[in-house]
Amino acid sequence: MNTLPDSAAIATVALPAILDLRAATPLANALLASRGRELIIDAEQVQRLGGQCLQVLLSAALTWRADDIPLSISKPSPDFLEGLDLLGIRSVHMLEALSSHPGLNDPEQDGTVVLDKDLSR
């Protein structure tokens, strides 16, 4: 019944506080290193999101989707959500949905995604 993979197959990448242009390459490398495993991206610390890091995150979502492996965003900070919003990504779901893995898009399932009130301002 448990659809979640075992813990060894789950990778977690914690996003740094500042996702500016300097953070793009390290982020891409960190995500690439996790390729092939289910990925949880921890966005709790994020204070700032720039265009290039968004590209990396979107590309990761597309990649995981192509690999048909789940990807989820955990504990997105209000700043992270607002940064997505500003750059035209309506919600964290959208980012996740790109990976389009069934079972992980429902936030209640693993409790990692909480739609923040900030989004409904």
Amino acid letter at 48?
Answer: R
- The alpha helices in 1-121, defined as continuous H runs, are 21-33, 51-67, 78-86, 92-99, 107-110
Determine whether 2 is exposed, middle or buried from the number of CB atoms within 10 Å of its CB (0-12, 13-18, 19+): exposed
Compute the least distance from the CB of residue 82 to other proteins, in Å: 6
Compute the least distance from the CB of residue 6 to other proteins, in Å: 24
Binding status of residue 10 toward other proteins by CB under 8 A: no
Compute the least distance from the CB of residue 115 to other proteins, in Å: 5
Report the site for other proteins in 79-118 (rule: CB under 8 A): 79, 82-83, 85-91, 93-94, 96-98, 100, 105-108, 115
Question: 3-15 burial string, b = 16+ CB within 10 Å, else e?
Answer: eeeeeeeebebeb
Tell me how many residues contact other proteins (CB under 8 A). 50
Binding status of residue 119 toward other proteins by CB under 8 A: yes
Instruction: Determine the Cα–Cα distance for residues 115 and 61; give it in Å rounded to an integer.
Output: 18
Amino acid letter at 97?
Answer: A
Footprint of other proteins (CB under 8 A): 20-21, 24-25, 27-29, 31-32, 35, 47-52, 54-56, 58-60, 62-63, 66, 78-79, 82-83, 85-91, 93-94, 96-98, 100, 105-108, 115, 119-121
